[in-house]
Every structure is written in structure tokens, then in C-alpha cells.
A and B are shown apart, each in its own frame.
Chain A
């Protein structure tokens, strides 16, 4: 396994897996910005085999696994033979439509992987713009500053499952803050809530929306959400991923006109990952 140092190494590895493939399969589709960031920060590693490439991304105390394989047989053989998949804590995301994912999940089961969590994507297609909610609370919603970065990370780690919910690292949060992608609410000097998004043209992804217990039921979450919509009048599609079992969150998203769009994320983990 070698560290990926430049972008073209990824293209070359993917190409070798795809050349002459009869049933190419992959879970590796990072945005160019994310890929570059992983390479720059030295967290992406590659292991090339005949007809396939594994990519491993270091994330705190575990690894994310990505694969590009010429066909499912090559992939299953490589999964069964790879010692790192048995000895290190590894998770992988399989994204697609449910019937296809059931088959893909079975490819990893002999190597000890099981479904660890299950998320699905919801979308809100904009027909009319959302007016800003004018309340006194709204003035408390501010753009996050770099001074908030550590608190934001602490809150995300306390509130979400890092194995299943792609919790950003500190440098990713600092980059998001610099890009103006996080809104926060403070109360008595403490971080009371946040909304973290990534906008690209007419699509915006709502990554995290959270009010700290103790500050809930005051309308802060609604203020954050309304501010988010109002600040993005050009966006026509809002997206988010939600844990399928989180019925409370799903109900709230439905309130804001998000609907499931059929895309599912099965998070698989090996037995080195504790539930």
C-alpha cells in the first residue's frame, strides 16, 4: 500500500481497473476538491491489484475503503485475500439503489463485513423561494468564525457517529468556515447550534443541522434552516443524507419539504469496528 502523492496516480489506478473490464464496479466518486484535499493532507493510500484498485483513507482511528474493480469476481477475490481488511478497523459506503446494494453487500460478507448503518438521501426541489423568518432569534444566527472551529468539531463528534456520518476533520471545518459554509448560534458564550452546508451552483448539500440539547424547543433550529434557505435564492436542489433510523430528524426534514429520492448508503464495517 502506498500513499497517493499526486492526482494522476488515482486516474491511472482507476484506469488500470477499468481497462477491458466486463462488469466495472466502484464506490469511489469523490469530488475533485475532496480528492485533492485528501492527497494534500496525506490521508489517501492506494493498493493496486490485477484488475482492481483499493483506496484507503485514514480517518481518526479507522479507515474508509474505496474500490474500483473490473468485475465483482475480481473484487470478491481481492477482498477475501487482503489482510488489512481483516486486521484494521475498516468501513465502506455502498451508494446506489436498494436492489443493487443488496447484491454488493454480499460481496463483502465473507470477509467479515456487516451492515453497520443505513442512510438515505433526501432532496428538496425549490419551486418558490423561502422568505426569511423575521424573529428576534434570527439575529443570533451568524456566520461561523475560525474561533468556532474546535467547538464545531467537538459538537459534531459528540452528536454524530464518525464511522457512518463522515464527520469532517479540523482542517475541513476550518476550510468550510473560511468559505462561509457554517452558520452558528451562540448562547451565553457557548455554541448552541449549527448548520453546515456545501453549495455548488444550483445545488446545496445540507451536511449537518443541530441544536445542542438544552437549547432545543426555542425555535433556533427553524431560524438556522430559514436563514439557510433564504441565503440561497439561486439554489434549485437542496440535498442531505439522513440515518434511516433517525425518525425524528426525518420528520423535521419532511416539514421543510425534503423527500426521499431513492438513493441509499449502506455503511459496512468489519469486526474491528465496535458497534
Chain B
């Protein structure tokens, strides 16, 4: 998960993403940040997250993002 935390901190350095279970409800990411995150994940892991997967449920917390990445063959540790 450390890599994910680093990616999230590159987008919003002022927040501690390890303490939240719902980044959107907690106001740590907004919809623009979510698109930035998708682009960063696409580039970092050479994947293309599909539009149907760009939903708030998949970006709620570290575990849901890790699950989404697993769908694209990426294991984050």
C-alpha cells in the first residue's frame, strides 16, 4: 500500500490517506482529484482504467483502489 499512499500524497500532500476509509466523503479527494488519480495510476502501471470503473466506490480508500488495480492485473503491496 505504500506506493498507493505515495501516489495519493503526490496529488494531495496535505492529507494522511492512511487514516480515512472514505476519501471522498472525508473531503480528501474531489472528482477532479479522482481523474488525476486515474491518469496517474494508468501511467504508473501502464493500464487503462475503464470509464465504468471510474466511480466513487472504487476510490473510497486504499483497499478499494487496490481491489480495482487487481482487476487490471496490478498487485500493490
- Chain A positions within 8 Å of B, measured between CB atoms, are 11-21, 24, 26, 29-32, 68, 95, 125, 199-204, 235-237, 263
Contact = CB atoms under 8 A, between A and B. Distances in A.
Contact of B14 (A12, A200, A236): A236
Given A21-B48, A26-B35, A14 B25 contact: no
A11 B57 CA distance: 13
A236 B48 CA distance: 32
Contacts of A68: 51
Contacts of B45: none
Nearest to A204: B27
9 nearest A-B pairs in the assembled complex, by CB-CB distance: A201-B27, A14-B51, A15-B51, A203-B27, A201-B26, A200-B27, A29-B31, A202-B27, A18-B51
Interface of B is mostly: loop
A125 B14 contact: yes
Nearest to A203: B27
22 contacts: A11-B55, A12-B51, A14-B51, A17-B51, A18-B49, A18-B50, A18-B51, A19-B50, A20-B48, A24-B39, A26-B35, A29-B31, A29-B34, A31-B30, A32-B31, A68-B51, A200-B25, A200-B27, A201-B24, A203-B28, A237-B27, A263-B32
Contacts of A235: 27
Contacts of B48: 18, 20-21, 24
Contacts of B34: 29
Nearest to B33: A29
Interface in B29-72: 30-32, 34-35, 39, 48-52, 54-56
Contacts of A18: 48-51
Interface residues on B, range: 20 to 34
Q: Which of B31, B48, B49, B51 has its CB near the most chain A CB atoms (within 10 A)?
A: B51
Nearest to A121: B32
A30 B32 CA distance: 8
B31 A31 contact: yes
A236 B54 contact: no
Given A201-B27, A202-B28, A203-B30, A29 B52 contact: no
Contacts of B28: 201-203
A247 B24 CA distance: 32
Given A202-B28, A203-B27, A32 B56 contact: yes
Nearest to A15: B51
Given A15-B52, A16-B51, 15 more contacts: A11-B52, A13-B51, A14-B52, A15-B50, A18-B48, A19-B51, A21-B48, A26-B35, A200-B26, A201-B25, A201-B26, A202-B26, A202-B27, A203-B28, A236-B14
B31 A30 contact: yes
A29 B30 CA distance: 9
Nearest to A16: B51
Nearest to A95: B32
A11 B53 CA distance: 8
Contacts of B52: 11-12, 14-15
B24 A200 contact: yes
